[in-house]
Amino acid sequence: MPDQFPIPDPILPPKATPPLPYPYKVGPVPAMTAHAPNLAERLWANRLNLVRHFIIGGAVAAGTAYSTTKNMTSTGLAFIGGGLVEMLRKGGDDELRAAGKPDMLTAILKPKQNGGVMSTRTDVEEVGTALYNLTMAVMSKDEDKAGAILTATLATIKEGADLVDIPKDDIPEAVAHALSMAASKAIAAKVVYTDEKPIAPTA
């Protein structure tokens, strides 16, 4: 039997979408970049190695100073100075290697990598000058000469390494040349003859 009183469907308003606490569209996400450590962070990470080289360099310099001067003040200063020099060298080498460059020792032993080409005579004369500076540092009467001795020793090693690539036949002449040059300069600086001494003023 048909319904005599049909009830129409209610007319409802359109269903509203509730507002969201964040926008619908998400903006572009910035690219993630790796954090490159700065110099202080790299040195802090390498601190144990630097301390080890500080002790080694300081011990070598202190031993040299004590055997030369027998003075504890000079020995202590040499320990600090030698340790700082060795620590700076080690830190510098690590930074050079991290940048993909040869360290200082490699650059010294293989100078041609840096495009440096010098004549054998020039290399030998530089060794002679370095030996002269070392001789004058050892003969100095200053109380703090340990630092000068260390610096002159490192310079002599550096200049001597340049002679690695010279022909073997030239080595005897090069050694004699460098030693005679250093001795000649030391004699000229230290030897004073009687007629070269200033005359003491008379009252």
* 3-state SS, one letter per residue, for 41-106: HHHHHCHHHHHHHHHHHHHHHHHHHHHHHCCHHHHHHHHHHHHHHHHHHHHHHHHHHHCCCCCHHH
Residue whose C-alpha is closest to residue 52's, from 86, 11, 99, 94: 86
Mean pLDDT, the chain, rounded, equals: 77
Six-digit token pair at 164?
A: 């690695």
Q: Which two tokens stand for residue 105?
A: 């020792």
Which tokens in the block code for residue 29? Answer: 């996400």
Q: What's the whole-number mean pLDDT along residues 87-110?
A: 71
Region 122-128 average pLDDT: 87
**200 Cα distance to chain centroid:** 50
Indicate if the pLDDT at residue 117 is higher than 70: no
Other Cβ atoms closer than 10 A to 21: 4
Q: Give me the mean pLDDT over the 24-31 stretch.
A: 67
Closest CA to 121 of 179, 60, 59, 166: 166
Per-residue buried b or exposed e for 83-97, using 16+ beta carbons within 10 Å of the residue's own CB: bebbbebbbebbeee
Q: What's the pLDDT tens digit per position in 5-21? A: 777 787 888 877 766 66
- Range 42-68 average pLDDT: 86
- Tell me, what's the pLDDT at 114? 45
In the numeric block, the tokens 């903006």 are attached to 27
pLDDT confidence band for 75 (50 / 70 / 90)? confident
Q: What mean pLDDT is predicted for residues 51-72?
A: 85
Name the residue with higher pLDDT: 110 or 13: 13
* Cα distances (Å, whole numbers) of residue 164 to 59, 112, 126: 28, 12, 14
> Does the predicted TM-score (pTM) go above 0.85?
no
Copy the structure tokens of residue 78.
């040499």
pLDDT of 115 reads: 46
Q: How confident is the model at residue 41 (pLDDT cuts 50, 70, 90)?
A: confident
Cβ-in-10-Å burial (0-12, 13-18, 19+) of 163 comes to: middle
* CA angle at 64 for the pair 89 and 177, rounded to the nearest 5°: 80
